[in-house]
Amino acid sequence: MDSMTVKCFAKYANDAMGFTKTIHKNNSKISLDENSKVCIVATKKIPGVAEILCGYGTRYWKNTIEQRRDN
């Protein structure tokens, strides 16, 4: 996992709308808590065995595509 050295717990959430088509939908969102810390908030009930999925935003995907083009 490329996020193993990242200390943010949000590294465990993926974006279902990334580069590939999938039947899965995002079930949470990235937000700020009362202390302005980044957190993940469920937008629907997430079963214990389900993956946490949240949208990274269009800017993230635009930058990722540009980086891949440059390499």
pTM: 0.65
pLDDT of residue 13: 82
> Could you give the percent of the chain with pLDDT greater than 90?
17
Chain-centre distance for alpha carbon 26: 9
Give the integer Cα–Cα distance in Å for 48 and 38: 22
10 pLDDT exceeds 70?
no
pLDDT tens string 37-47: 888 899 999 99
Q: Name the band, by pLDDT with cuts 50, 70 and 90, for residue 3.
A: low
